[in-house]
Amino acid sequence: MASGSFEAIDSLARAFPLEIVADLIGFSGHGKDNMLRWGQAAMQVIGPLNQRTQESFPIAGELYGWCSSVTGDDLTPGSIGRGIFDAESRGDIPEGSAGHIIHQYLGAGVDTTIASIGNIVALFGRHPEQLQLVRENPELVPAAFAEVLRYWAPLHIWGRTATRDVEIDGVTVPAGAQLGILLGAGNRDARHYENPDVFDVTRNPVDHLSFGYGPHGCAGQGLAKLEGHAIVSALARQVKSITITDEVRVPSNMTRSIDKLHVAKVVAA
Ligand code: HEM
């Protein structure tokens, strides 16, 4: 890898999952061309009903429309997407569900992964001694990615509906209540993590909440880890230091991510 400068979000954080998730699901052309806009809109419409939500509805609708009309033949043979349609044809999953599953993958797997990859670069730029630790101890790669996810959760909040009355710390949450579960706050709970506001790649917080938890915990976390580990590992092997001069965040309804990250200088190993 040559030393130099680059903009890390467009050229790495967005470029990398775009290739991986598109190949995994097996689409190209129209689907791939729109994946970033669709993925972003799918997250924006989950939040409060504000201007961002309203502007994103038509775009999220395009994704829904595409997923409703796509067939197995539109997807690359051997891809996971084609496999899901094959499972539907065999009757292994309910009729009409394949398009919905693909919709879930596209909606949930794009913006979240982009956020986490941007965060890897930004946090290693801010904490050069932590990059150095991973360089010296490559076995820390999974722990370092888990710490990136704990420290800066891509999704700070997610939803639950109470299916029965539940008592939490002396307060009864009634059946039917809508709850916001504060994943990012839980990740910084001092009762659980020592010095929670310190970014420490040796911590190995395997129980962080950034993938949610329980039966509906993130279905794509295996893939997300593969992607995150690949990026952390490549940086640790090939980069001595990262100097960041500009980090721009834009408000988003759901995903806390960096929109532009100017790496003024990356020194190759
Ligand atoms: C670092 C990247 C990612 C983060 C931080 C993340 C985070 C999350 C979170 C917080 C949830 C809600 C879990 C809950 O309700 O307990 C979720 C659900 C989900 N995620 Fe991810 N995700 C990531 C990547 C992906 C990828 C790459 C895919 C697939 C390609 C994916 C597919 C899904 C699906 C299908 C669900 C819904 C699971 C269900 O409701 O049963 N995610 N994710």
Domain boundaries, given as residue ranges, for the chain: 4-268
Residue 20 alpha carbon to ligand 1 centre in Å:
16
- Only one residue has tokens 């590992």, namely 233
Mean pLDDT, the chain, as a whole number?
A: 94
The helix/strand/coil state of 215 is coil
CB-CB neighbours of 55 under 10 Å: 12
Centre of ligand 1 to C-alpha 213, Å, is 10
Q: Could you report the per-residue pLDDT of 236-257, keeping only the tens digit for each?
A: 999 999 999 999 998 899 999 9
Per-residue pLDDT tens digits for 179-200 = 999 999 999 999 999 999 999 9
Return the best residue to mutate from 43, 211, 252 for the ligand 1 pocket (most ligand atoms within 8 A of CB): 211
- Separation of CA 216 and ligand 1 centre (Å): 8
3-class state of residue 197 by DSSP: coil
Lowest mean pLDDT across 20-24, 49-53, 77-81, 253-257: 20-24
* Confidence at residue 20, expressed as pLDDT on a 0 to 100 scale: 85
How far is 264 from 242, CA to CA, in rounded Å?
8
Q: Flag the least confident range among 12-26, 73-87, 148-162, 234-248.
A: 12-26
List all residues whose CB is within 6 A of at least one atom of ligand 1: 21, 104-105, 108-109, 112-113, 116, 154-155, 158, 183, 210-214, 216-220, 223-224
pLDDT in the model for residue 76: 92
Q: 266: CA distance to ligand 1 center in Å?
A: 31
**Hey, which CATH number is domain 4-268, 2.40.40.20, 1.10.2020.10, 1.10.630.10, 1.20.1580.10?**
1.10.630.10
- CA–CA distance, 224 with 145 (Å, rounded to integer): 10
Instruction: Give the helix ranges, DSSP H, for 76-189.
Output: 80-90, 98-109, 111-126, 128-136, 141-151, 183-187
Highest mean pLDDT among 66-80, 95-109, 184-198, 245-259: 184-198
Best CA proximity match to 209, nearest among 185, 178, 173, 180: 185
